[in-house]
Amino acid sequence: MPEPCSRPAPPLLRQALDELNQGLWFQCHETLEDLWKSHPKDAPERDLYKGILMLAVGLYHDGRGHRLGALRKLPRAVELLAPYTPVCQGVDVAELLACCARLLGFLASAPLESPIPPPLLPRIALPGASPNAH
């Protein structure tokens, strides 16, 4: 697990996770892009942010009827997030990976017009928040 995982989540990461939990895929992407780009190219936490960003982009694509786009972005999210398990910067990365697996299973087998059932969508506890905060 990369060293930055012991650091607290920066405010933009907390904001992005809140947007992810609310289903604001595009806004989550924009917030994470700002966070990701604000770090040096060799900063190890960049891939954590990019992984969550890929999850949001995949969900955004599917919501716009582009299932193939979702099926391309979610495996990339898994690849980027895997080194950060189980928890990084207070984020339950293991749950993000489990969510990606559930989504990939559904998207690969469901008819294109089938919306993603709400229980399959990510609901990630915000770092530092009480478990009942959302």
pLDDT digits (tens, 9 = 90+) for 53-99: 999 999 999 999 999 999 999 999 999 999 999 999 999 999 999 99
Given this model, what pLDDT does residue 115 score? 93
pLDDT in tens, 20-66: 999 999 999 999 999 999 999 999 999 999 999 999 999 999 999 99
Beta-bridged to residue 106, according to DSSP, are none
Q: With respect to residue 134, please indicate whether it lies within any of the assigned structural domains.
A: no
pTM: 0.91
Question: What three-state secondary structure class fits 85?
Answer: coil
44: left (phi over 0), alpha (psi -120 to 50) or beta: alpha
Q: CATH number for the domain including 48?
A: 1.10.3450.10
Q: Which residue has the tokens 């990701």?
A: 36
Question: C-alpha 83: how far from its chain's center?
Answer: 14
Domain that holds residue 61: 8-120
Question: Under 8 Å CB-to-CB from 129, ≥6 apart: which residues?
Answer: none
DSSP state, residue 10: P
Q: pLDDT tens digits for 110-124?
A: 998 899 999 999 999
Say how many domains are in the chain: 1
